[in-house]
Amino acid sequence: MEELKQKLKIEIREADISESQLIANIIQEAAECMENGSWFVADDEEFVKKHTGGLKAGLGFVLLAFGEKEKGKKKAAGYLVVRFPGEEKDNLASYIEGGARMKTAKMETAHMESVAVCPEFRGNRIQRWLLMEAEELIKRERPGIRHLMATVHPDNLGSMRTFLKLGYKAIARDKKYGGLDRNIMYKKI
């Protein structure tokens, strides 16, 4: 897989706050061309800014993927927002833990919050690479995180396959984001 990444000249790195507008453009493009509008809930630029540059101690971080479209010319290919929800009421840890451990589980949870790949780069495993890179960063920089959570629309088979191949399990189905069906995905690290 690393070979394909090198062949396609895919680069993944933590986003800088100055790239918030670039990420907002990717979000808008993804939302406009999504097969089904309920599959993707678009975050705004403020949400992205709030999570940019906070890997070690902040609310989260954002990864950007770049690919080569023309010889030597890099173009944004996708993004991933990772959020450390802590005590927020929407922390998905409530699906995995109950009772006395709930407070601890909340502090040990990261959400793979939002991910999208630009249409011209789809089919090249970029979503998978973004998620894998995020996991590695979390393991290295935030070793207290034990639970990875995400939500995926049940009919979004591409995203479901990606999460399942990476070891996530669908542990529940619920309404999220104003009543939209979502599978609650979980992976223990």
pLDDT of residue 100: 45
> What CATH number is attached to the domain comprising 144?
3.40.630.30
**Beta sheet of 60-70, edge-to-edge order:** 11-14, 60-70, 73-83, 109-117, 147-152, 180-188, 169-176
pLDDT of residue 116: 86
pLDDT (tens digit, 9 = 90+) per residue, 44-76? Answer: 667 776 767 666 667 889 999 998 876 778 888
pLDDT of residue 70: 67
pLDDT (tens digit, 9 = 90+) per residue, 4-13? Answer: 555 567 899 9
Q: Give the tokens for residue 81.
A: 């927002």
Q: Are 106 and 147 in contact (CB under 8 A)?
A: no
How many domains does the structure of the chain reveal? 1
How far, rounded to the nearest angstrom, does the alpha carbon of residue 51 sit from its chain's CA centroid?
12
Residues in the chain with pLDDT values less than 50? 99-100
pLDDT of residue 41: 67
Range of the domain at 79: 2-188
